Amino acid sequence: MTAAMVGWAHLPFGKHSEETVENLIVKAASKAIDDAGISPEDVDEILLGHFNAGFSAQDFTASLVLQADDALRFKPATRVENACATGSAAVQQGVRAISSGDAKFVLVVGVEQMTTTPGPEIGKNLLKASYLKEEGDIPAGFAGVFGKIADGYFQKYGDQSDALARIAAKNHKNGVANPYAQMRKDLGFDFCRAESEKNPFVAGPLKRTDCSLVSDGAAALVLTDPATALGMKKAVAFRSMAHVQDFLPMSKRDILKFEGCSKAWGAALGDAGLALDDLSFVETHDCFTIAELIEYEAMGLTKEGEGARAALEGWTEMDGKLPVNPSGGLKAKGHPIGATGVSMHVLSAMQLTGEAGDIQVKDAELGGIFNMGGAAVANYVSILQAMK
């Protein structure tokens, strides 16, 4: 155990046109510091996860965290970016600062404001997380990238529309009870399965209910060393954390395998001395339902090509053998790019300290997180356990 979370904050995700990136950062940072029970003066380092890619005109944002309190002035602050895994990349840098002994308290903030950007520009910005040289002309933007993946998976393993609809319905059902979720509506399997005016096809076999939401939001957490954490009011330790980066071009790899995801899970579980069966729940990166399906296979929940079993047989439901995305995932919670990885860590910490309210997984002791940048390019896995 190299570091622990001792305080956190999560703002509601959704459309917040009245807010700015700066306001979102300040609110989340202030709440996390207060929740940890420390003073701003105690913070030794600041890390901000912010993808941007054109969503915000203000591109130099690391020092905006200092707006939360004048006492943060002159603290080292760095913006971290790794596509949709930006939040976890910032968390990992914070863990490294703690484990190296360079800092006693680290403040990590994740933020994105996407909804104030015109629709066509949103798609253009998101596509920057692909290999533009080969994938920049794919219709429907990043949804088109995963539509292509879904097409390939269907061709190899058969039509998986029922399984994708089950994943979407599960995550929307879970999101109803999450007060931070952007969409708190149980859409049901039938709605998610059928093409309709309200649920049209977007790319390949993917319908609107297969795609995560465009969102604004922020989350933040405070890290410290395990010894210090034992004296705090609450503490959730990192049993392990792994980062695996794969080739950016999909043409250089078997895109149906998510090999970087598999290797990250193997490394994190190995370092923690655990098996997947030991985990109480998993928060995984369901940017599209086909991603969650393939991630079941990559994490070792099923064999290759059999991910549908986990969805159709209820393995990943709240009362299943491994609840996946009890928060509602990106599908219901929303996906403000830079905030997503931090959000996953905050909500998992809440699960492990019994603070998750109506989305609480019973007797949660160990949590796993998978946050992905691009199409399985940046792969981060964290294994968490409450210390007290």
Catalytic residue numbers, as ranges: 84, 335
- 3-state SS class at 380: strand
DSSP 116: T
- Tokens found for residue 139: 């219709």
Give the max Cα distance, the chain: 58
Listed in sequence order, the residues at least 6 apart from 41 whose beta carbon sits closer than 8 Å to its beta carbon are 71
Residue type, position 152, single letter: G
Sort strands 216-224 and 4-10 into parallel, antiparallel or unpaired: antiparallel
**Could you give the residue ranges of the DSSP H alpha helices within the chain?**
21-36, 86-99, 119-127, 132-135, 141-157, 161-175, 189-193, 226-229, 259-272, 289-298, 307-312, 329-333, 337-352
The DSSP secondary structure of 190-249, one letter per residue, reads: HHHHS--SSS-EEETTEEGGGBPPP-EEEEEEEEE-HHHHTTSS--EEEEEEEEEE--S-
Q: How many helices (H) and strands (E) does the chain have?
A: 13, 11
Q: Are 289 and 187 in contact (CB under 8 A)?
A: no
For residue 344, give the 3-state DSSP assignment: helix
Neighbours of 88 (CB within 10 A): 32
Q: Which CA distances in Å does 97 have to 107, 128, 267?
A: 11, 29, 20
